[in-house]
Structure 1
């Protein structure tokens, strides 16, 4: 029996080819095009037909006729265009894989996965490497950490410290897997941008890392520890936090807007950067009203100007100091045969990071020795408590006697008495009365001028300090407390030793023109961006200057934190 031939009206292009890997994207609507996709899945739709030129004998131009098949509706009413093109364009589509192709791929994947699992399961070494997520960081792999894990959970396994399911039997694991996949198996749920939501594992982290809450209470979202801290990546220390972890929040205008709204309803003292006395002593150093919520894309792209520069903060220190005067050659007597330089007063801590606090004993006494009697240059006034200074002056004969014994080596009683009397007569000749001597010591300025029109042979306390009259009768003059800041940028980290290798102090600190104590003399952000940017070639990651939820390196005028850290400015 012979096969029946297809009808002459049948168009081979209409034949459904089940072996093809791609089908028309309009198939689900029942409007699949006759041409169909290419073997590589590209849409080939163009026009419904290719018009045919009907040229009869004797005609010069002829006429184009529609060739649309009857199965597609037959000839159209409009007919071809004058130039011979079809007037009915077929809309483009996005071809889809055919059902047969999908089945073929699923079967191939299943076979390969089955063979792979069999290979892994047969060899225990391969099996162990396959299920092992990688080495853990050295602190978590230490013997000390194992002991801590055993103490807390009764299991010396380091896995049990973080993974709660490791403390249970295998029957509980499917449930934990279900929790991990609570967002579903869709690609957008498995591969999502932004921070991951907190899980039970975060509680295990905080069991050891106490106090590591978020660095600000106006966080618009919460996220898991592993969003920033990546474990199972190295046998050393964990990788440093990437900029992307910070920018997940700080580069999001939506999150920063929500965070800004939360600031209004949050108690000011709840913010860790407001701890200590800095805000109370200098209101201009308080955190911005809207919090640190400016959208930042990078240090060189969106980071605001440093607050002390932006708000033109002034130093409220009562000490009188003139940088320009001290650093100008010829204005100040040389120290050790040379003019004063920055490092004669400013010294870094042992780590080379921050400047140590300036003290009179270490930084001022070398030039300002508080001498009041040129004939006994070794006898100097005490520095500090005004009551102690007044007591020293009122017991001057005893001070001269002790000086004669310890410095001059005089031991004879008669010689000591004569020495003290001679010194006393000279002092009396200079000051006439003890009361005026006390006043000269406290109120004489740099030129020796004392209020009231009198002069002293030396510069008194008022040269550097703000001195006022006694608050009570027979009281000592009041000297305003010096409030030299230990840190100005107390929410950032800085390392001076890394910068002095290629820069001088004057490259960043414009002190040669500074004549007032109120000058802060800190550089603007532009000075930093010149180097810390892609163009400058120096590291410009967030963690270069900022710690996240660690304790701030010290409040502006605080003492407790600075003693603990051993850091100064």
Structure 2
């Protein structure tokens, strides 16, 4: 098949010349590649842009070879069957399909679109971008809108204020009344200044500034240091971003999970490694295991509690020796007879129900674990948890018994065992020295027995200085008791809201035989009842159910 390709060449002063070429083949290819039948030098043309197939003399099929399509007779298309006279526009080139002359089966004419034609075609295809390009003007709609706002936003509410019957009538019609000027009821905490709008809205027509909040909330802690954690959500956040009033009695706090998960989903990446917190987006699906506040001491002996990730192997170093399983057995033998102990026997909630009161030896342990030291004085007991006072009391007690006499223990000297009548002559100086010497030895002997055998060592770790190892009654040290009163330092938990549950639902104390066992439940235990924001059949728990937002230790909002 022979194609006639005619190029229209424009010359100076409007002169036109033609250049003709012959192409052999069924298809006429168009593009910027060197092997194309019609070569286009425009960079906007693809290497293989389109093709034209001659169906019959004067009838053609035009096809686009790119996803953007081609423009045929001014319309964008991917394929079209057209006749002679149809035009194809590609970049700045127009290709007109012709009736083939004699000795040819197909013919096309190629010409260039000048800038005027291109601008006109672009203007025809452009959509209106302003009201001036449409039949709709600005003035009439503006007047309608002005009258509507004036009537419904000002005149009707104003009339309903000064004419109460009209106000009651409008309230039943759905038309605006003075209620449309009221943004809503204040939060309960702000109702004491509810009539003084300037407390928050210091300047008319401006949003509430943070200074209006921090003027009253002077000790409000920040969330994190925006200089250290370079997050726009911190540096650009306003109080009103989370706390918006006029939403009712309990509408000031944003309870949405997205408030926290928006940053904590990838906090390490967002802070460029400045934060070491693990990702957390949903309590039920994506939340790390809890971190506990465990008692610990530094090298100098200072109490420095540490946050530690909860694991099955984690142990508590409280300084105590205690067997929960033994104390929870039914029919426990005690000085007062058989008795049954329960969790509440020792663990009692504080007044607010948040945590448990500290276990006190005097009120909870002393009934069974008495601190008697001498069978001749069954009512006398040494003080608890005071090593120096124990030794001082024993010294005083046995010195008094030695000087008074009547202490019938066989190890005591005869004049100590002998009971003296009132007014009888006192001991001689030599006897006094011997009596006090015996009393001191007896005191140290009893002290050693208390610390190592029948009292302190039962519940406490007792050590002795090596330098005083050979000195009776001296150098004893009892390991301090350090039990974390608040285990979840990074979260808030209250026993009061879990009062319907049994202690064993969370704390497996009846099988614990060591005080080192951590009886604190992990996240799996909590997930039995709690889920994330979409809780389903479980309790829906968002981030702020357990975590506070304003938790910076040293930085206040007023300092930012």
Which bin holds the TM-score, normalised by the shorter protein? Answer: 0.5 to 0.7
Return the alpha-carbon distance in structure 2 between the equivalents of residues 257 and 468 of structure 1: 49
Return the alpha-carbon distance in structure 1 between the equivalents of residues 394 and 202 of structure 2: 72
Pair 466,399 (structure 1): closer, same or farther in 2 beyond 3 Å: farther
Pair 334,499 (structure 1): closer, same or farther in 2 beyond 3 Å: farther
Return the alpha-carbon distance in structure 1 between the equivalents of residues 540 and 337 of structure 2: 39
Return the alpha-carbon distance in structure 2 between the equivalents of residues 241 and 220 of structure 1: 24
Pair 313,163 (structure 1): closer, same or farther in 2 beyond 3 Å: farther
1:261 matched to 2:273? The reply is yes
1:140 matched to 2:190? The reply is yes
Counterpart in 2 of 1:358?
A: 359
Return the alpha-carbon distance in structure 2 between the equivalents of residues 375 and 414 of structure 1: 17
The partner residue of 1:243 within 257, 266, 278 is: 257
SS at match of 1:388: helix
The partner residue of 2:198 within 160, 174, 183 is: 160
Pair 476,295 (structure 1): closer, same or farther in 2 beyond 3 Å: closer
Work out whether residues 354 and 496 of structure 2, in 8 Å CA contact, stay in contact via their aligned partners in 1: yes
Work out whether residues 70 and 78 of structure 2, in 8 Å CA contact, stay in contact via their aligned partners in 1: no
SS at match of 1:226: helix
Work out whether residues 509 and 523 of structure 1, in 8 Å CA contact, stay in contact via their aligned partners in 2: yes
TM normalised by structure 1 equals 0.56
1:442 matched to 2:443? The reply is no
Counterpart in 2 of 1:317?
A: 318
Return the alpha-carbon distance in structure 1 between the equivalents of residues 477 and 209 of structure 2: 58
For residues 421-448 of structure 1, the C-alpha deviation after alignment (integer angstroms, 9 at most, x for no partner) is xxxxxxxx9x99332112101111xxxx
Counterpart in 2 of 1:273?
A: none
Work out whether residues 333 and 339 of structure 1, in 8 Å CA contact, stay in contact via their aligned partners in 2: no
For residues 436-477 of structure 1, the C-alpha deviation after alignment (integer angstroms, 9 at most, x for no partner) is 112101111xxxxxxxxxxxxxx2211111222256677452
SS at match of 1:118: helix
Shift of 1:361: 1.4
1:504 matched to 2:502? The reply is yes
SS at match of 1:369: coil
SS at match of 2:347: coil
SS at match of 1:468: strand
Counterpart in 2 of 1:216?
A: 224
For residues 385-413 of structure 1, the C-alpha deviation after alignment (integer angstroms, 9 at most, x for no partner) is 11111122122269989xxxxxxxxxxx9
Return the alpha-carbon distance in structure 1 between the equivalents of residues 72 and 148 of structure 2: 40
Counterpart in 1 of 2:517?
A: 519
Shift of 1:163: 2.8
The partner residue of 1:464 within 459, 463, 477 is: 459
Counterpart in 2 of 1:490?
A: 489
Q: How does 1:151-230 map to 2 (within 5 A)?
A: 158-166=196-204, 176=206, 201-217=209-225, 218-221=228-231, 222=234, 223-230=237-244
For residues 473-506 of structure 1, the C-alpha deviation after alignment (integer angstroms, 9 at most, x for no partner) is 77452222211221111121112132230x3211
The structure with the largest alpha-carbon Rg is: 2
Return the alpha-carbon distance in structure 2 between the equivalents of residues 104 and 400 of structure 1: 115
Pair 494,111 (structure 1): closer, same or farther in 2 beyond 3 Å: same
Coordinate RMSD, CA, aligned = 4.3
**Higher mean displacement: 344-353 or 371-380:** 371-380
**Higher mean displacement: 511-520 or 118-127:** 118-127
> How many residues of Structure 1 are paired with residues of Structure 2 in the alignment?
376
Return the alpha-carbon distance in structure 2 between the equivalents of residues 76 and 352 of structure 1: 94
Pair 95,507 (structure 1): closer, same or farther in 2 beyond 3 Å: farther
Q: How does 1:65-464 map to 2 (within 5 A)?
A: 66=82, 70=86, 104=136, 110-119=142-151, 120-123=153-156, 124=158, 125=161, 129-143=179-193, 158-166=196-204, 176=206, 201-217=209-225, 218-221=228-231, 222=234, 223-235=237-249, 238-251=252-265, 253=266, 255-259=267-271, 261-263=273-275, 290=276, 292=277, 294-308=278-292, 310=310, 312-329=313-330, 332-333=333-334, 338-374=339-375, 376-396=377-397, 433-444=442-453, 459-464=454-459
Shift of 1:371: 2.5
Return the alpha-carbon distance in structure 2 between the equivalents of residues 510 and 230 of structure 1: 44
Work out whether residues 391 and 443 of structure 2, in 8 Å CA contact, stay in contact via their aligned partners in 1: no
Mind listing any 5+ residue stretches in structure 1 that lack a counterpart? 1-28, 36-44, 52-65, 78-93, 147-156, 167-172, 181-199, 264-289, 402-412, 418-428, 445-458, 553-569
Pair 416,465 (structure 1): closer, same or farther in 2 beyond 3 Å: farther
Shift of 1:47: 6.9
Return the alpha-carbon distance in structure 2 between the equivalents of residues 322 and 135 of structure 1: 56
Return the alpha-carbon distance in structure 2 between the equivalents of residues 373 and 461 of structure 1: 15
Q: Please identify which structure carries the higher strand content.
A: 2
Return the alpha-carbon distance in structure 1 between the equivalents of residues 72 and 86 of structure 2: 16
Work out whether residues 222 and 552 of structure 2, in 8 Å CA contact, stay in contact via their aligned partners in 1: no
Return the alpha-carbon distance in structure 2 between the equivalents of residues 436 and 332 of structure 1: 28
Work out whether residues 299 and 541 of structure 1, in 8 Å CA contact, stay in contact via their aligned partners in 2: yes
Return the alpha-carbon distance in structure 1 between the equivalents of residues 98 and 525 of structure 2: 74
TM normalised by structure 2 equals 0.57
Return the alpha-carbon distance in structure 1 between the equivalents of residues 317 and 259 of structure 2: 37
Work out whether residues 390 and 476 of structure 1, in 8 Å CA contact, stay in contact via their aligned partners in 2: no
Shift of 1:335: 7.9
Q: Please identify which structure carries the higher helix content.
A: 1
Return the alpha-carbon distance in structure 1 between the equivalents of residues 134 and 279 of structure 2: 45
